[in-house]
Every structure is written in C-alpha cells, then in structure tokens.
Amino acid sequence: MAEQLKPIEIGSVYPPIGAVLIIGNGLVGSCLAKDFGVTPVDYPQVDIVNPIVTWDLVKSFPGELVINAAGKTKVDEAEREKDMGRDGSYYRVNVLGNRHLAQACLEFKKYFVSISSEMAFGEGEKGQLRLESEVPEVHIAERGVYGGTKAWGEFEILTYFAKEGRGINLRISHPSKRSEGWFFNLIKKYSKLHDDSEITPTLTEELSHVIAQAYVLGISRRTLHAVGTVVTPYEFGTAGRKRLGITGETEPIHFENVKSKAYRPQFGALSNEYTQKLLGLRFRDSQEQIDYLTS
Ligand SMILES: NC(=O)c1ccc[n+]([C@@H]2O[C@H](COP(=O)([O-])OP(=O)(O)OC[C@H]3O[C@@H](n4cnc5c(N)ncnc54)[C@H](OP(=O)(O)O)[C@@H]3O)[C@@H](O)[C@H]2O)c1
C-alpha cells in the first residue's frame, strides 16, 4: 500500500497556506520557520504560561495557522521538578502553555498544531509501533516529568477538540533537518550507540509538509505522526557516519547499560501508516532519510 503513495516532496512549494504563527524558536520551531519563511516568536518576548499575553498574541495574528513548537524539553533536568506537581515549570509550559494556545485558537478561530513526542507514552514493546489513535495515559510515574507533561499536554488538546477546535496533535521523534538536529549530534558526538532500542526519527522538512497538507485538507481533531521507519540508533548512526566518511568505530551498546537521570523508552517507535493514508503521502524510510540528510 505504502509504495503507491506519493513520496513527500522536499524543497517544493508547500500548499498555499498564507501567514503562519510559530511559537518557539528552538530546534523544531527554527527548522519549521525556515521552511515556512517566518520568524518564530519565543520566550521571553512571549510567555505562553501567561494566558493574557497568549490570547493577545493569537488575537492579533492575521493568519489562521498557529503552531506550538515551544516547550520545556530537557528530559534529565525535568526530573528536578518531580515533586513539584502543578508548580513545576515543565507542567506550566508543556501543559498550561498548550492549553492557553488551544483555548485562544478556539476563541479566535485559528487552526492549531500542537507538537508532541513519542515520550508522551510509557515503555513500548519490541517490534510494536504506537498508533496515531493511541492516547497516552496521563498518570504514569515511570515516564518522568518531561514525558508526563507531554501526555498531559495532549490531554489538553483532546479537551480543545471536544469543543470543536480546529487542528491536530502532531507527534514527532528525534527530529533532524538537513545539516542540523538530532542526527548530526548522533554521528558527531557519540561513538557508542544502542543496538537494541527502536526509534522512528522525524525529518523536519517532512513535518512542515505534513502541517501544510493537514491544514489545506482541513484535517481536524486527530493525532498524526510525522516519522519515518523503525531503526536502532546504532544502525542509523553507523550508516550516517559511513555515508559522511567519518572515521572511527561506532560501538554497539545495550540499552540497559546506559544510565540516565530520567526515564527514556527503549521501544518508542511510532507508526506513520494512518497519517500516510490520510494525507496520501509517503514518508522516507530510514535509509532515504540518511541519503537526504547527508546529500
Ligand atoms: N527535540 C526533540 O528531540 C523532540 C522530540 C519529540 C518532540 N519534541 C517536541 O517538539 C517541540 C519543540 O522541541 P524543541 O526540541 O524545538 O525544544 P527546544 O529546542 O528546547 O525549544 C523550545 C523553545 O520553546 C521556548 N519556550 C520555553 N518556554 C516558553 C514559554 N513559556 N513561552 C514561549 N516559549 C517558550 C524555549 O525558549 P527558551 O530557550 O528561552 O527556554 C525554546 O526556544 C516540543 O513540544 C517537544 O516536546 C522534540
């Protein structure tokens, strides 16, 4: 089925979408901004934790498409807030901030794209992909503060959808753009990579296309996934290094032998099947991603 779908064209003109408001000028927001040719707004000029500032921002935006790429994203640092509940900054930005944007978009009739993560889920199972239709449980302590607030942020979107909001919840994982992002960290910084964990990386150029296409088609009240196919970090990293002629061995290591402060899923792969069918587009597989990223 997937073979019959049209691959996502990169560098082509996106469907005409008019003005775009991107909140968050970090890794993901800045990549999206380059594709859409806009300047993102960011903290401290705009604080999405402040409902009045957020409403004013959305109200004064003349276009329709609003993308939330803002967030608190330092997975290990977030654990410092594990006993802070709703007073923690991760809760305030990832949950309340998302809520304020969703509410403002509902009020001012904007189309809202909320970016989420595979880490909204707890541990998956080897060989099993999380579906777009799966809803992460909000209270799972094992996921840690970051993942927990992403799950809760998704819950806010479901509430917004229930009130006729327009837009999508869009999960991504390990994002990269040509010449920047997670892939380039992986191949340049790490010589030891997991060979027994599963991920589905995101090309941010494909993410931009998914956003534009979903908006143009008027897809609403759904969760989509903008990801490629399953790969281990070791496979992805070694293929990338080889392709770029980076010398030095990459050593495979087992997931259980790497200690980190915060929980991270060993099996966090996302399915893209429903999204592909809905949009009539095909995501690149992991080898095609490497070919694109290194070309
Ligand atoms: N990077 C990944 O591996 C990954 C994977 C899956 C999903 N995601 C999701 O993608 C989205 C963007 O992540 P990212 O990697 O681009 O994160 P990032 O590089 O940390 O950027 C997040 C941006 O949000 C801004 N921000 C923080 N608090 C804010 C507030 N109160 N009001 C307005 N802006 C605020 C940050 O500003 P300051 O720097 O000034 O704090 C920063 O510019 C997040 O929803 C994240 O969960 C990321």
- Domain chopping of the chain, boundaries: 2-288
More confident residue, 139 or 96: 96
pLDDT at 248: 80
The number of C-alpha atoms within 13 Å of 132 and in the hemisphere containing its C-beta is 17
Q: What distance in angstroms lies between residue 243's CA and the mean position of ligand 1's atoms?
A: 30
Output the six-digit token pair for 87.
């007073």
Residue range 88-112, pLDDT digits in tens: 999 999 999 999 999 999 999 999 9
Distance 247 CA to ligand 1 centre (A): 32
Greater confidence (80 vs 139) lies with 80
Cα 2 to ligand 1 centroid, rounded to whole Å:
32
Which residue's CA lies nearest to atom 29 of ligand 1?
43
- Per-residue pLDDT, averaged over 257-282, amounts to 93
CA distance 20 to 172: 20
Using the atom order of ligand 1, give the atom closest to the CA of residue 49: 31
Pick from 138, 144, 177: which is nearest to 265 by CA? 144
* Ligand 1 nearest-atom number relative to CA 47: 32
- How high is the pLDDT of residue 3? 56
pLDDT tens for residues 159-168? 988 888 999 9
Q: Atom of ligand 1 at shortest distance to CA of 150? A: 47
Distance CA 123, CA 268 (A): 7
Share of the chain above pLDDT 90, in %: 80
Ligand 1 atom closest to residue 115's alpha carbon, by position in its atom list: 45
Ligand 1 centroid to 55 CA: how many Å?
19
Smallest CA separation from ligand 1 atom 27, residue: 71
- CATH class of the 2-288 domain in this structure: alpha beta
Q: How far is the CA of 245 from the centre of ligand 1 (A)?
A: 32
Q: How many CB atoms lie within 10 A of CB 202?
A: 32
23 close to 294: Cβ distance less than 8 angstroms:
no
Instruction: Specify the residue with its C-alpha closest to ligand 1, atom 21.
Output: 26
- What stretches of the chain show up as alpha helix (H) in DSSP? 27-36, 51-60, 89-91, 98-107, 144-162, 182-189, 204-217, 233-244, 273-279, 286-294
Residue 275 has pLDDT above 60, yes or no: yes
pLDDT, tens digit, for every residue of 251-264?
Answer: 999 998 888 889 89
- What's residue 60's pLDDT? 97
- pTM here? 0.96
Cβ-contact 232, 267 below 8 angstroms: no
CA dist 149 and 166 (Å) reads 22
Higher per-residue pLDDT: 23 or 4: 23
Ligand 1 atom nearest the C-alpha of 181 is 1
Lining ligand 1 with CB less than 6 A are 23-29, 42-43, 46-49, 69-73, 93, 97, 115, 117, 150, 172-175, 182
